[in-house]
Amino acid sequence: MKKLVIFDLDNTLLNGDSDRNWGEFLAEKRIVNDDYLLRSEQFYNNYYEGSLDIDGFLNFCLEPLKNNEMDLLLELREEFIEKKVKPIVLPAALTKVKEEMKDSTVIIATATNDFVTKPIANLFGVEELIATEFEVANKKFTGQVLGLPCFREGKLQKVTEWINLNGYVLAESRFYSDSFNDLPLLEKVREAIVVDGDEKLLREAKKNGWSCVSFR
């Protein structure tokens, strides 16, 4: 069986954060107000400080989704991918994903919700996406999160569940990430690769002898 290679998404494969950019895009479209942007920035800062309230953040992300019709959201998402995501796809990251696909199974694991990230995974040609999942019923977001958020220990658990279902071995896998928040998963794989890492993660990489690379 092929080995498994896992990629984080935001600030690893992308030169930016898709969740944050989605919020800014919705503000440009007058779907959300300026207060939403201010709250988004606070959540973003908390994420990098390691103090993010993930449940509060996900409820925040769900607000514009549950308050708008699916047809409009899909139309907005298509424009978002074209205007805000494609320009921040890192060419070196795309090359690395394609390179890894030659000999391994590649998946993307991200804390960002699946509505925003599924078409982004498609840009990289990655079929398997592990993300935070938002419940949809009758073509409308219910405002509920399905299962665990794909964040910190939750990302480790969701990836482990996927691996167990698909017959891979986590201890033989490779994981690329930029964020200290991914430490629980990075510590469990055979090869942890830090990509343009944040300050905390770079310290951990030095301590553990992990490879550090840049896609920028």
pLDDT tens per residue across span 106-161: 999 999 999 999 999 999 999 999 999 999 999 999 999 999 999 999 999 999 99
Catalytic residue at 19? Answer: no
pLDDT, residue 155, reads: 98
Q: In order of start, what are the domains of the chain with their CATH numbers?
A: 3-15+89-213 (3.40.50.1000), 18-86 (1.20.1440)
pLDDT, residue 56, reads: 95
**Residue 210 CA neighbour count, 13 Å, CB half:** 28
pLDDT, residue 28, reads: 96
Q: Which of 10, 19, 182, 196 is catalytic?
A: 10
Q: Which of 8, 178, 182, 196 is catalytic?
A: 8
Catalytic residue at 178? Answer: no
Which residue do the tokens 């139309």 mark? 75
pLDDT, residue 50, reads: 87
What is the spatial distance between Cα 211 and Cα 12, in angstroms, rounded to a whole number? 14
Q: Which amino acid is present at 60? A: F
Q: What is the DSSP string of 12-60?
A: TTBSS-HHHHHHHHHHHTTSS-HHHHHHHHHHHHHHHHT---HHHHHHH
